[in-house]
Structure 1
Amino acid sequence: MRIRQIAKRDAPNYIALCKKLDQETKFMMLDPGERTTNLKEQKRFIQSLLDARNSMVFIAEHEDRLVGYLGAYGGEFRRNRHNAYLVIGILQQFTGKGIGTALFTEMENWAKQAGIHRLELTVMTHNIAGVSLYKKMGFTIEGIAKHSLLVDGNYVDEYYMAKILS
Structure 2
Amino acid sequence: MFSQKEVFNVKGIQYIIRSAEEKDAKELAAVRLQIDGETENLDRERGEGFIDEEGFKQRIQTDTEHPKNLFLVAEIDGRIVGFSRCEGTNLKRLSHKVEFGVCVLKDYWGLAIGKNLLEVSINWADSHDIRKMVLSVLETNEKAIKLYESYNFEVEGIVKKDKKLSDGKFYSTILMGRFKE
TM tier, smaller: over 0.9
Report the alpha carbon displacement of residue 5 of structure 1 after superposing the two structures with TM: 1.1
2:9 is matched with which residue? Answer: none
Residue 154 of structure 1 and its aligned partner are, at CA, apart by 2.7
Q: Secondary structure at the match of 2:85?
A: strand
Gaps of 5+ in 2: 1-14
Aligned pairs, number: 166
Specify the code of the residue in structure 2 equivalent to 1:163.
R
Identity of aligned residues (%): 25
Contact 1:19/1:35 (<8 A) preserved:
no
1:89 offset after TM fit, Å? Answer: 0.5
Range 43-52 or range 147-156, more displaced? 147-156
* 1:43 counterpart residue number: 57
Distance in 2 between the 1:151 and 1:75 partners? 31
- The residue type paired with residue 172 of structure 2 is D
What residue is the counterpart of 2:107 in the other structure?
93
Whether 1:143 and 2:153 are equivalent positions in the alignment is no
* TM-score, normalisation: structure 2: 0.86
**1:77 has 2:91 as partner:** yes
Q: Which residue of 2 aligns with 1:161?
A: 176
Aligned to 2:7: none
Quote the offset at 1:50 in angstroms: 0.6
CA contact (8 A) 1:68 1:91 kept: yes
Q: Does 1:32 align with 2:46?
A: yes
Hey, what's the Cα distance between the residues in 2 that align with 1:36 and 1:107? 24
Query: What SS is found at the alignment partner of 2:102?
Result: strand
The 8 Å contact of residues 100 and 133 in structure 1, kept in 2 or not, is answered as no
- 8 Å contact from structure 2 (residues 25, 53) kept in 1: yes
- Code of the residue aligned with 1:154 in structure 2: it is K
Task: Find the aligned partners of 2:56 and 2:106 in 1 and give their Cα distance.
Answer: 23
SS at match of 2:92: coil
Q: What runs of 5+ residues in structure 1 fail to find an aligned partner? A: none
Equivalent of residue 21 in structure 1, options 20, 23, 35:
35
> TM-score of the superposition, structure 1-length normalised?
0.93
Alpha carbons 1:57, 1:72 under 8 Å: kept: yes
- Give the alignment's Cα RMSD to 1 decimal: 1.3
| Runs of 4+ displaced beyond 4 Å | none
- 1:72 and 1:53 map into 2 onto residues whose CA distance is 11
Aligned counterpart for 2:126 among listed residues 107, 112, 119: 112
Matched, 1:12 2:26: yes
Q: Deviation per CA, 1:100-137: give whole Å up to 9, x if none.
A: 22111211121123221100001111111211221122
Q: Which amino acid aligns with 1:156?
A: Y
